């Protein structure tokens, strides 16, 4: 079960994923949907590159002044009648949210889609304490029924097919007619809508994340397509927002700029269906909306990233474009990473959040091809940061022995040019002899990880150095 | 030490910055009071008539339906037409917005008009938008007795009226208008930017309309 995967077992997880054809088929859709959708949306907006520069600059400015913007945001929330809580880590965030739920005597809690509640493990914590939160985003609802974690930050159930969803619904909605037809996605959606409508209307507390915290107005902003986030935050008596500190932006103008990047990069929409600004609890003459409004600001390792070589990662708006365009993600899916955040953004972020010891393999889950950086709306230099982690991994002796031995041997030879020439000539000669008639190597000593999935072409002719030397003589 | 002080302290140590540094404070104050505009797409910067046409086109592109009417007095008939066209009962729920209250509803004798927030039993809701945004075909709705937020999400069908004169080219124009009406730095409890009907692509990436919010969004552009 994916819930038990960890980043430290990444190599094993990845092998299992490569041997899972339905998973690979599901992920293959990403090319026609998300990747080509983004391309179309970007091509239709001449200002897209200028917006990327502006988005990067907004976040860079904000991060340099983030303490002051957070203080302003807090003041504005309080002015609007809301409460702000500060949580240093996951445990504190969970405790604060539980206390709010208990103080309101809540039994039923609905949740909008939120990666940050996945990061802190809120659902498991609430459940241990007698409160069952109901996920209301369709994808999140499906994986909650399956006892899984999201495999993608914007398409959490991308790894599940409709037959599996139908089976899960039959199991979970046992009170419905067993002969009903659940063959098509449309009937599955209709059933989820009906079941969850009941939950929305009877919830005591609604918990959402936030895409933005606006310092100027004290507003929290969610961006969704289904409308579940809105039903989560307007129907219950209490609305709790859990957001990490780097979500703060100065003004509404800054939200507008990043909004223009977000949906286009994420799904290829020009704008998501619902962008909602919530400011405090309902006002005296409001006929609906929550009576209490709480914002929990989470640090969980982010303040330590400021001023470090990983500061740029705090510009991330969680659009998922780097994931959709990553050849490694597209080969193994999200669960293999064993962390809440998969793909390139996850491989950079996870070691900062949970420590390099537990996630040293992630920095190697990349070919450093650069596609992620080329599509990142916030121009985050992901490959550069992955290299930083690899360096740290090597320095701290977290690299596997075989790789360390290989690199050390290479260093020894590279510093001795004559010996290097002899060794590489010998290697080329023996690889050519190992190869079959088609010049392909099905197996290479020490490189089983490569040759299990593809052949390695055998070297033809001499080494680069001998060829170079020959040409130089001509 | 409270977590608040610990977090702010760690941030300042990491940045090597102080919370009372006059230059930093001035930079923040400037941004918050001057609210500088960043990059605004040229596509919405059009004369009024073309701007409204762009709004209609963009809204249609994302599966909203749009009807244009000349006067507010035509709203009741347009609502009744829409319900008939969709084979829906002649019933609608709306808020107390005076722009809707003063209309000749009696002309549509069949149409039952309920007033107030929705508790989830209504098939169709009617709201008056504060503005439209041409660049993406978006409508802007604000909470309050005039247009309760529940009407935007609970009914299966949502009919939204927009005055052509309030269709802006871009979001920034809408923000300026919000500041004028509610005061700088203040917002109504909820501001909804709605771009098309509710949708989901969570099952096998198949795009379906009508996830948890309205299955259909019908926009009446007045004027
Ligand atoms: S790193 Fe960039 S591309 Fe990846 S999720 Fe974050 S903002 Fe999007």
Structurally, how many domains does chain A consist of? 2
pLDDT of A5 above 90: no
- Contact residues, B window 116-175, toward A, CB-based 8 Å cutoff: 116-117, 119-120, 135-136, 138, 143-145, 148-150, 152-154, 170-172, 175
pLDDT of B5 above 90: yes
Residue A197 lies inside a defined structural domain of this protein: yes
Q: Does B189 touch chain A (CB under 8 A)?
A: yes
Residue A20 lies inside a defined structural domain of this protein: yes
Please report, for the domain that includes residue A281, its CATH number.
3.40.50.10420
How does residue A182 score in pLDDT terms, banded at 50, 70 and 90? very high
Residue A324 lies inside a defined structural domain of this protein: no
Residues A431 and A287 in one domain: no
How does residue A201 score in pLDDT terms, banded at 50, 70 and 90? very high
pLDDT of A448 above 60: no
Lowest mean pLDDT among A104-113, A314-323, A332-341, B136-145: A332-341
Q: Of A276, A303, A330, which residue constitutes the final position of a domain?
A: A303
pLDDT of A21 above 80: no
Domains in chain B and their CATH numbers?
Answer: 1-34 (no CATH), 46-222 (3.40.50.10420)
Q: Is the CB of A221 under 6 A from ligand 1?
A: no
Residue range A10-35: average pLDDT?
79
In ligand 1, the atom with minimum distance to the C-alpha of A266 is 8
pLDDT of A420 above 80: no
Residue A266 lies inside a defined structural domain of this protein: yes
Residues A298 and A417 in one domain: no
Question: What residue has token string 């001449």?
Answer: A46
Residues A289 and A412 in one domain: no
Residues A278 and A416 in one domain: no
Q: Of A303, A334, A367, which residue constitutes the final position of a domain?
A: A303
Residue A435 lies inside a defined structural domain of this protein: yes
Residue A200 lies inside a defined structural domain of this protein: yes
Preferred mutation among A97, A194, A253, A268 to probe B, highest tally of B CBs within 10 A:
A253
Q: Which residues span the domain enclosing A420? A: 406-470
How does residue A402 score in pLDDT terms, banded at 50, 70 and 90? low
Residues A193 and A74 in one domain: yes
Residues A296 and A435 in one domain: no
Q: Of A269, A303, A337, which residue constitutes the final position of a domain?
A: A303
Residue range B183-211: average pLDDT?
92
Residue nearest to atom 2 of ligand 1 (CA): A376
Summarize pLDDT for B77-131 with one digit per residue, the tens. 999 999 999 999 999 999 999 999 999 999 999 999 999 999 999 999 999 999 9
pLDDT of A427 above 90: no
Residues A293 and A422 in one domain: no
Residue A16 lies inside a defined structural domain of this protein: yes
Residues A293 and A414 in one domain: no
How does residue A30 score in pLDDT terms, banded at 50, 70 and 90? confident
Summarize pLDDT for B24-49 with one digit per residue, the tens. 999 999 999 999 999 999 999 999 99
Predicted local confidence at residue A70, as pLDDT: 98
Residue A293 lies inside a defined structural domain of this protein: yes
Number of CB pairs, chain A paired with chain B, less than 8 A apart? 270
Q: Percent of chain B having pLDDT more than 70?
A: 100
How does residue A450 score in pLDDT terms, banded at 50, 70 and 90? very low
């Amino acid at each position: 079960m994916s819930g038990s995967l960890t980043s430290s077992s990444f190599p094993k997880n990845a092998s299992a994923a490569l041997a899972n054809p339905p998973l690979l088929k599901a992920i293959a859709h990403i090319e026609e949907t998300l990747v080509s959708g983004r391309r179309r949306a970007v091509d239709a907006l001449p200002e897209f590159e200028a917006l990327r520069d502006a988005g990067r600059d907004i976040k860079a400015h904000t991060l340099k002044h983030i303490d002051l913007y957070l203080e302003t945001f807090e003041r504005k929330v309080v002015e609007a009648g809301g409460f702000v809580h500060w949580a240093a880590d996951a445990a504190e965030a969970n405790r604060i949210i539980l206390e709010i739920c208990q103080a309101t005597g809540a039994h039923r809690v609905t949740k909008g889609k939120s990666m940050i509640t996945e990061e802190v493990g809120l659902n498991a914590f609430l459940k241990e304490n007698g409160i069952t939160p109901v996920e209301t985003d369709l994808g999140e609802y499906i994986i909650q029924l399956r006892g899984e974690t999201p495999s993608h930050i914007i398409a959490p159930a991308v790894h599940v097919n409709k037959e599996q969803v139908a089976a899960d619904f039959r199991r979970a909605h046992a009170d419905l007619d067993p002969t009903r037809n659940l063959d098509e996605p449309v009937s599955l959606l209709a059933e989820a809508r009906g079941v969850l409508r009941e939950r929305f209307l009877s919830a005591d507390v609604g918990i959402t994340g936030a895409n933005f915290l606006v310092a100027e107005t004290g507003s929290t902003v969610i961006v969704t397509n289904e409308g579940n986030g809105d039903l989560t935050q307007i129907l219950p008596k209490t609305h709790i927002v859990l957001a990490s500190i780097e979500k703060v932006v100065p003004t509404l103008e800054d939200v507008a700029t990043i909004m223009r990047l977000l949906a286009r990069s994420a799904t290829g929409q020009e704008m998501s269906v619902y962008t909602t600004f919530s400011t405090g609890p309902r006002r005296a003459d409001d006929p609906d909306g929550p009576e209490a409004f709480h914002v929990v600001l989470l640090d969980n390792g982010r303040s330590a990233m400021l001023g470090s070589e990983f500061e740029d990662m705090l510009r991330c708006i969680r659009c998922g474009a780097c994931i959709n365009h990553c050849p490694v993600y597209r080969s193994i899916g999200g669960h293999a990473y064993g962390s809440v955040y998969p793909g390139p953004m996850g491989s950079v972020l996870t070691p900062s959040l949970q420590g390099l010891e537990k996630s040293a393999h992630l920095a190697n889950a990349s070919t450093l091809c650069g596609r992620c950086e080329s599509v990142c709306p916030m121009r985050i230099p992901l490959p550069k940061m992955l290299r930083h982690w690899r360096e740290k991994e090597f320095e701290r002796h977290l690299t596997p022995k075989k790789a360390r031995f290989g690199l050390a041997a290479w260093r020894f030879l590279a510093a001795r040019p004559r010996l290097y020439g002899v060794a590489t000539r010998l290697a080329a000669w023996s690889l050519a002899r190992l190869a079959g008639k088609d010049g392909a190597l099905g197996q290479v000593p020490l490189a089983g990880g490569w040759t299990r999935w593809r052949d390695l072409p055998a070297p033809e002719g001499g080494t680069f150095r001998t060829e170079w030397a020959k040409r130089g003589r001509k | 030490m409270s977590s608040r002080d610990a977090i702010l302290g760690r941030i300042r140590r990491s940045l090597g910055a102080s919370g009372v540094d006059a230059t930093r404070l001035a930079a923040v104050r400037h941004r918050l009071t001057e609210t500088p505009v960043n990059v605004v797409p040229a596509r919405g910067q059009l004369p009024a008539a073309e701007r409204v046409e762009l709004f209609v086109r963009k809204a249609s592109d994302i599966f909203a339906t749009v009807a244009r009417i000349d006067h507010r007095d035509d709203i009741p008939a347009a609502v009744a037409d829409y319900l008939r066209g969709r084979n829906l009962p002649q019933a609608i729920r709306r808020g107390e917005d005076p722009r809707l209250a003063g209309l000749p509803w009696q002309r549509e004798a069949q149409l039952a008009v309920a007033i107030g927030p929705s508790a989830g039993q209504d098939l169709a809701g009617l709201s008056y938008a504060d503005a439209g945004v041409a660049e993406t075909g978006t409508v802007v709705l604000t909470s309050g007795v005039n247009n309760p937020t529940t009407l935007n999400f609970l009914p299966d069908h949502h009919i939204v009226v927009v005055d052509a004169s309030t269709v802006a080219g871009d979001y920034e124009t809408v923000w300026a208008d919000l500041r004028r009406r509610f005061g700088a730095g203040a917002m109504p409890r909820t501001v909804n930017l709605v771009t098309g009907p509710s949708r989901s692509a969570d099952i096998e990436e198949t795009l379906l309309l009508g996830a948890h919010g309205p299955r259909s969004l019908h926009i009446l552009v007045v004027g």
